[in-house]
Structure 1
């Protein structure tokens, strides 16, 4: 799990540079308020793991996903009737009987179960930023569709805060960069949680 999520305050990742922030152009999604529910959060991912970013002010919420965590257990989806039925499906196609070929393929060739197991939430990472209360000004969150960097920026108590989050394919990490202007010490807690208990079947035993 060491490579799964990293809080990064440094550069050096093999990904687009984030020091100057994303350029202002049309290829971005942007909003003037934090996400209130999951469907409003901004997604990032590298094909193996990802996160939904809510863009809160006093706290940040990242719902994490990782491609080895899913419902069910190991199984063989191959239909035991597929090998025997395949020549007949080919014959029907060659004869132009496409509807019959499709029906037979659907009944005999399709893997079982017919639907893939569902991915499960890897958990949630919350960044809590303690400090003096104050209404945020000039709030904006965005996802740059070219650089795949999600950014949250706002001003509170005269300090401009900025968070940049990306998923690096080359380095296989999720990285978060925190910055402020004028320079201010970032303070945060980062509790992690998962909504459901996890278990794994190992032969006749479960963990």
Structure 2
């Protein structure tokens, strides 16, 4: 649970990292204060996103001194009694708000709000248009296969590395799988980059 959302997650150490002699990533002994700082940095974007969603559409209402303030998410509960079972604050609802004229629209709305009636008077669900890059993954797989075939024709000995890199292996991982030194793999990667430039020139032309 993070903020108001649940996530499928795996546990990773919030520790400083380094690389051993074989280029493998390792974790270092890290003080608890530094681990907490790393943890806060990792969750910062998600918590900020949740806070933005909470504040989305909240009105800027006038104050007595001529300024404005953001409408609060929660207000004091009139039924609250110390020691009782009522919460101290309750959610602030827009219904009956005296500042209704200042109410803003939400920048994020549910797709179901865009449902409409067809010519026959029946309700039709809104269908969002597919983005231009909707099939980008399919196109990437197609180009990846074509590039590996291209390398196999020009430089057959580089084909195994090309195949692993288009599958998003890291250089260190590819080196271990292929039984090569990191320096050799890095040198071959530079040659693959030259072949990739040549391949893309041909692909774009076609």
TM class, shorter-length: under 0.3
Q: As a proportion of its length, which structure holds more helix?
A: 2
Q: As a proportion of its length, which structure holds more strand?
A: 1
Name the structure, 1 or 2, with higher relative contact order (CA <8 Å, separation 6+): 1
Scaled by the length of structure 1, the TM-score of the pair is 0.24
Greater Cα radius of gyration, structure 1 or 2: 2
Scaled by the length of structure 2, the TM-score of the pair is 0.24
